[in-house]
Amino acid sequence: MKICIACGMPMKEPVDFAMGDPEKDYCVHCARPDGTMQSYEEKLSSFTAFIIRTQGLDKQVADAAARNMMDRLPAWKTGN
């Protein structure tokens, strides 16, 4: 089982991977429609919205939580 390098989601089935390609290191939720990986800013925006929707946090707190989680993931280790 692979873990998405951009959000940490476990990827078990082909549908979990970007473009259904198990060779990709990122998931379907971190891919743009053309299959390329979203930028840090794109992922931060969608991850913040996800946290707001699922945990009910306000935008500032959700943004800080998303940044904290993302900064620990391999895709974003180079610093942003």
How many domains in the chain? 1
pLDDT in tens, 55-76: 999 999 999 999 999 999 999 9
User: pTM of the predicted model, to two decimals?
Assistant: 0.86
Mean of the per-residue pLDDT values of the chain = 94
Domain of 15?
Answer: 2-76
pLDDT number for residue 77: 84
CA dihedral 6, 10, 12, 16 (to 10 degrees): -50
pLDDT in tens, 30-48: 999 999 999 999 999 999 9
